[in-house]
Structure 1
Amino acid sequence: MEQLVDRLSPPAVIAVFILPFVPIIPILKVAKLWLLAHHHYVWAALTIAGGKIVGAAFSTRVYAIARPKMVQVRWFSRLEAKVVWLLDFGHRTLENIPAWVTARALGRRLVQSARASIAATWIALRRKVTSERRSSFSRRWALALRRIRSRWSA
């Protein structure tokens, strides 16, 4: 991908950045509608989520590689600056809303408690599994194996 971007002109790089999404978006929409029409709700949700994840990963990769060339095009540079400014403005605005600050703090606490709960459950499960491994049967079996080994080695 890097070699392709190096060989192309800046306007062509912008086309390489935009064009892969043109056929993908309608195809995913049709697939989603078909899956919903046939009552495959889980597959439709997975198609939507998968398309979003793959699209975001692909566009992030292409943007990281192609940005130096795309910024050479004046209108793209202006558009990028405006988008970055809008994102910063949105973040600053959200951070000044008390309800947003409270919701973020609550979300952090929920994530921390969920992590602690999952870790405690995992530790308890491991203890249960390891303690079950040493049941009376397994202890007797291990003792019998040791006796057999000692007789064979003597």
Structure 2
Amino acid sequence: MSDAACEVWFYHLERSGLDQVLPELLEKTLGRGWKALVRCGQRERVEHLDGWLWSYREDSFLPHGSADEPQAERQPIVLTTDDANPNGADALFLIDGAEAGDLDGYKRCILLFDGRDEAALTEARGRWKRFKAQGLPVSYWRQGAERGWERQA
């Protein structure tokens, strides 16, 4: 792992929901040769994603496991509600208000939030300020008109 500061990317979901966006971002992460940790705010989300990532598309699946399963350290994607990083992930995905915790060792932290939820928007703005105050490089991505992502800041 590099000593460079973890980049924090905010993804503002407006046109697509988490179930559509997360698999695409995880595919890109694995395509870089990185491992991913998906930290959820609730155990129910871990259980949902555990099934969803196997079946989200007919012709594909994302290999993964949850942190409480045997050999989690061997998984390319780990789903959890805990602060640990059992698979030595390069990318940390935060959903449902999950806290980042210590970002040492991560190359990128991706915070996904629902832009149609005022509380989630307010929380994301507060986190942006905190990450900036820590001196971390932050960027803001918004869904474009054609389903792609556009960097806004």
- TM above 0.5, yes or no, is no
Q: Which structure shows the bigger proportion of residues in strand conformation? A: 2
The structure where helix makes up a greater share of residues is 1
Determine which structure has greater relative contact order: mean sequence separation of CA pairs < 8 Å that are 6+ residues apart, divided by chain length. 2
